Structure 1
Amino acid sequence: MTSLALAGSPLWYASRAGGTLALILLTATVVLGIASGGRAAPRRIGRFEIGLLHRNLSLLTLAFLTVHVVTAVLDPFVHLRWAVAVLPFAASYRPLWLGLGTAAADLLLAVLITSAVRPRLGLRRWKAVHWLAYAAWPLALFHGAGAGTDTRLPLQLWLYAACLAAVVAAVGWRLAHAGPGRVAGRLVAAAAAITVPVASTAFLAAGPLQPGWAQRAAATALLIGGGR
C-alpha cells in the first residue's frame, strides 16, 4: 500500500486525530495537576472545581485514547493485534515507538482502576499510583513523535512544542510557589523539566526529521525480537 493510499484511509485519519487529541488532553491534565497542587493552587477557584475539571479532562483523555487504539488496530495497513493494546513492544510495526504508547496507556489504565477503588486502596497508595500519569506523558510524547507518520509536518511539530512548553511552564510555576522542604522532589522535577525537552528535541532532530526514519523505526523490530 502506498503512502498516498495510507493518507486517504479514514481509519488512519481517525487514529491520528484520536492520538493527537489524547496527547493534548493528557497535557492539559498534567499541567492542571502540576500547577494546582500543593501551595501553588489558585485561591480564586475552589479545589472542588479544580478536581472536577481534572477528572473530566482525564476521562476525555481516556475516551480519545480508546478511539486512537481501536482505529489503529482496525487499520489494515499496520496489521496490529488486539494484544498490542495492552502488551508493550509486542507489535511488528515500529515496535519500540508503539510500545511506548502502550506503556503510557497501561499507566493511565492503572490510574483509572485505582481511582475507582480509591476508598479501599487508601490515599497514600492511590497517590503513589496516581503519579504514574506524569510518567505516561513523556512516553506518550515520544510515542507520537516516533510512531506518527505526520511528525515532520510543521503543525504537528508546533503541537509537540506547545505541549512541552506548557508542561515546563507548569513545573516552573509549581517550583516558584513551592514552600520549604521536599528539596529532593523539587530537584527531580527541575531535572525532568530540563531533560525531557532537550531529549525530545535531540530525538526529533536525529530521528523522525531525518530521511529514512520509517526504515530505521521499523528496524527496531529486529533488535527487540532478538534478531528474528
Structure 2
Amino acid sequence: MSEMLWAFGRASGIIALVLFTVTLLLGIVTRSGRPLPGLPRFSVSLVHRNASLLAVVFLVLHVGTLLFDSYAKLNPVDLVLPFVGAFKPFWQGLGTVAFDLVIAVVVTGLLRSRIGHRAFRFVHWFTYAMWPIAVLHGIGNGTNGLDRWFLVLAIGSTVIVGAAIIWRLSAGYLETSAARRSSVMERKAVR
C-alpha cells in the first residue's frame, strides 16, 4: 500500500506542476487580453480558471497522499510551517511555501468580490513566486527530481515561463484596458 501511495504522490505532484505551468502561461495570456488560436479571449480566461482548479486538485492529492505515506513522513504541521519536516527539511519547506502561496491565491480568489480586485491582484502576483519555488521543490525533494526526463521537463518549463514573463514585461505585451473590457464583456455575454 505504501508504494502505491508514494507513486500516486509523485505522479500527482508532477501533474500539478505541469498544470500550474499551463495556468501561469494562460494567466499571462489572459491578462494580455489576446485570444489563443482557436479560442476567443473569454475562453482563455475560462481555460485558465479550470486549469488552475485542476492544478489545485492535483496538489491536494499530492499533499494528501503523502500525508499517509510512511516514507514521506509528513504531518499536518508540515503543510503550513515550512522547513520543519523530517525528510529533507529545506526542499520539503520549499514545497510548503509553494503550497501556502497557492492556498493564499485560492482563498483570495474565492473572496474576490468581498476583498476587491486590487487585493486579489496583489495576492495573485504571488503565483510568480510560487511557481519557481514549486519547481525547486520538485527537483530537490522529488524522487525523480534529478532524473534526466524531469530535469528536461523543469528546464523546458522554465524556458517557456521565462519567455512568457519577458514578453509580459516587454513593451510588446500591449495589455490594454480596452482589451480587458472587451474580454469582460465577452464573458458576461456568455453567462
Aligned match for 2:68, one of 53, 74, 77 = 74
The answer on whether the counterparts of 2:79 and 2:96 sit within 8 Å (CA) in structure 1 is: yes
Instruction: Give the direction of change, closer, same or farther, for the CA distance of 1:139–1:21 in structure 2 (3 Å limit).
Output: same
Residue 122 (structure 1) aligned to one of 116, 120, 134 = 116
* Partner residue in 1 for 2:96: 102
TM-superposition CA deviations, 1:168-191 (whole Å, max 9, x none): 2212333252349xxxxxxxxxxx
Give unpaired runs (5+ residues) of structure 1.
1-7, 181-228
| Secondary structure in structure 2 of the residue aligned to 1:36 | helix
Say if 1:98 and 1:147, in contact at 8 Å, map to a contact too.
yes
Partner of 1:220 in structure 2? none
1:15 pairs with 2:6: no
- 2:173 equivalent in structure 1: 178
The equivalent position to 2:55 in structure 1, one of 61, 78, 89, is 61
- In the alignment, which residue of structure 1 is the partner of 2:42? 48
Q: Distance in 2 between matches of 1:43 and 1:103?
A: 32
CA contact (8 A) 1:35 1:171 kept: no
Give, in whole Å, the separation in 1 of the partners of 2:144 and 2:102.
24
Q: Tell me the distance in 2 between the aligned counterparts of 1:125 and 1:62.
A: 21
Q: Which runs of 5+ in 2 are unaligned?
A: 176-191
Contact 1:35 1:173 in 2 (8 A): no
CA drift at 1:57? 0.7
User: 1:143, CA displacement in angstroms?
Assistant: 0.4
Aligned-partner SS, 2:44: helix
Give distance in 2, aligned partners of 1:51 and 1:122.
19
What is the aligned partner in structure 1 of residue 150 from structure 2? 156
- Note the aligned Cα RMSD (angstroms): 1.9
Task: Tell me the distance in 2 between the aligned counterparts of 1:125 and 1:161.
Answer: 32
What's the offset of the Cα at 1:46?
A: 3.3
Rounded Cα–Cα distance in structure 1 between residues aligned with 2:118 and 2:32 = 15
Aligned length: 172
Please state if 1:137 is matched with 2:131.
yes
8 Å CA contact 2:36–2:44 kept in 1: the answer is no
Matched residue, 2:180: none
Q: TM-score scaled by structure 2? A: 0.83
SS at match of 1:77: coil
69-78 or 93-102, which deviates more: 69-78
Q: For residues 152 and 111 of structure 1, what CA distance do their matches in structure 2 show?
A: 29
Is the 8 Å Cα contact of residues 30 and 48 (structure 2) preserved in structure 1?
no
Deviation at 1:63, TM superposition (A): 0.5
Is residue 35–residue 44 contact of structure 2 (8 Å, CA) maintained in 1?
no
